[in-house]
Amino acid sequence: MIVTCPNCSKKYQIPEEKLAGKPRRLRCKNCREVFIIHPQKKDEDSASPATAIDERAARFARVLSSDMLIYNKDAVEQAREAGNLLETMAGEIERSWQLWKSRFPEAAGSEEGVSVFRGSLRDILAGGDDQFDDWQPE
């Protein structure tokens, strides 16, 4: 089984027998990132792993948007009222995008993935307002 570090994209060949059918933690020798690898299921169809990545990517995008809201509550409220949320939070959004992109490079490279991240910004950070409908990563 080929495993890719979500932080630096280094690839490792891991024998299925080492997993013994259970998830295991792995530390990347290149960047020291610790991540969990899951054994492949024999009866799993090919669309299922992509769906799991999409669900995790969407969940992480929501977490990042929630964190921006929590840690910048006053600035977000003022920017929502002024209609300049994108400009006010540009630095935080860019940092969150870079972190999300490092964890989900396949999703970040697709329009669907960008849409997932944009949707979390709209739903959580903008409170459902359309201020992020035209947002594109730099």
Structural domain boundaries in the chain: 2-37, 47-125
Angle between helices 47-71 and 73-82 in degrees, nearest 10? 90
Paired residues of 37 in beta bridges? 24
- As a whole number of angstroms, the distance between CA 127 and CA 98 comes to 22
Q: Identify the pLDDT of residue 37.
A: 86
pTM over 0.75: no
pLDDT tens per residue across span 58-78: 999 999 999 999 999 999 999
Structure tokens at 3: 């495993």
Residues in the chain: 138
